[in-house]
Structures are given as C-alpha cells and as structure tokens.
Amino acid sequence: MSFPSDEQPPAAEDLGYTLWAVFRREPGRPVAPGDLSAAVAEVEASGVTIRGWYDVSGLRADADLMVWLHSDIERGAAPEALQAALRTLRRAEPLASLVPVWNAMGVHREAEFSRSHSPAFLRGVEPSAWLTVYPFVRSYDWYLLPDDERKQMLADHGRKGSQHRRVLSNTVASFALGDYEWILALEAPELVDLVDLMRHLRQTEARRHVREEIPFFTGRRIGLDDIQEVLA
C-alpha cells in the first residue's frame, strides 16, 4: 500500500518527541551503587532533556522508578536520539540491574479541534512535583462521528479540565508507536490535584468513547541523589 504525496515531512527539530520508561527492582538481585551524573550529562549533550525522575514505588506493586525524556526545546531531537538516551541511562549504575516494566513514546501533533494546544513540556513550563502518565485509545466509532459532535464533547471535556488550574497537561500522539493512540501526562504540585481532576473528568460524554486507558503510573519527582534510596 502506498500513499504518494508531494508534502515534505516535518524536520525532527519541529517535532516534540517524548518518552517515558518505567523500571522495577528484580527480587533477589541487589542494586549496585553508582553515580548517574555522567550518563545524564551524556544524554543532555545529545539534544535530549530529562524532565524528571519519579518515585513510583508503593503506588503499584510492579514499579519503582520512572524517567521522562523529551526532545530539547531549542535543538530538537529525532526519536532515535531518545532511544539512544534511554540505552545510555539503562547501562549506567544503579539502573543496569533494573527490569523494564513499561515504555511509551509520543510526539506532539495538532490536537483534535484545538490547534493552539501544546504540551507543557514543549512550552518550557517547569515540571511539577507529581506526575501521572497513562495511555488511552478511543472507541472504534469515535473518528467516524460528525465533527461537530466530537468538537462539542471535547469542548465540554476541556472546560471541566480547565477548572483544575494547577494541573499541567501534556498530551501526545502515539499512533503506530506502540499499542495506544494517545499518551497523557498530567503534572501537579500535589497528588490530590491529580486525583480530583481525574475524578471530575469522569463526568463527561467523551468518556463514553474511551476504549482503553490503563496502565497508570504515578510518582513524585525526585533528584538524582534520591534514586539510590528509592531502589535500596
């Protein structure tokens, strides 16, 4: 199957690629002490930004640590740079002995009926203390509904979400990048902000057109010096 077109693809620096990776400790396999500073410096020199490390231990039984990477806002980075960055981090102690639990890559594309919407991480907004990341897949008939009907449902959804002003939204497309259509990362100064937002958004018509929206990975942003204690 081919789709000929004269349209030029966007350059890597025009796109906002992002990647989340979740790890867990391997029972019976101690985590070796080590310093991640050199690996982090190598990653950031490659045009990849580490938005944060997150302690996800305790919120789930199968995860301990999450890292969030994205293209450098000024220089940009191709998706393969994010792949290479994750490999660099995984080879470094104390991450080398960890087991991958979940990965998701996304890229900023024009949001449905909202050209002005862009992820917080691409606007240079500072990260918040708490993060929840989850995928979602629309119903089979969602994209076949009349545009006006979808636009109305999304507008209602957006109005409810905008009432939670302390929450930063990061929605990226993940069609063909994995098993999902969209990845959503929400950031907030307090964990309860995320709880309240997600509960409130259940009361929308757009919810009827969500086929999948798990797993959720939620954690507190931590510094490099805290990682060893989380994994101990």
Supply the CATH number for residue 29's domain: 3.30.70.3420
> With contact defined as beta carbons under 8 Å apart, do 180 and 174 qualify?
yes
Q: What percent of the chain has pLDDT over 70?
A: 92
- Please say if the pLDDT value at position 7 is more than 60: no
Domain assignment present for 212 = yes
Domain assignment present for 2 = no
> With contact defined as beta carbons under 8 Å apart, do 150 and 187 qualify?
no
Q: How many domains does the chain have?
A: 1
- Please say if the pLDDT value at position 12 is more than 70: no
Domain assignment present for 7 = no
Task: Give strand ranges (E) for 159-215.
Answer: 168-173, 182-188, 210-212
Confidence of residue 113 (pLDDT cuts 50, 70, 90): low
Catalytic residue among 17, 54, 134, 180: 134
Active site residue 17: no
| pTM attached to this predicted model | 0.90
Q: pLDDT (tens digit, 9 = 90+) per residue, 117-141?
A: 799 999 999 999 999 999 999 999 9
Domain assignment present for 218 = yes
Give binding residues for Fe-coproporphyrin III as ranges: 157
> With contact defined as beta carbons under 8 Å apart, do 69 and 18 qualify?
yes
Give the pLDDT confidence score for residue 116 in this predicted structure: 62
Domain assignment present for 5 = no
Domain assignment present for 3 = no
Domain assignment present for 34 = yes
Residues in Cβ contact with 159 at an 8 Å cutoff, skipping those fewer than 6 apart: none
Q: Domain range spanning residue 47?
A: 12-231
Give the pLDDT confidence score for residue 62 in this predicted structure: 97
Eight-state DSSP code of residue 14: G
Domain assignment present for 6 = no
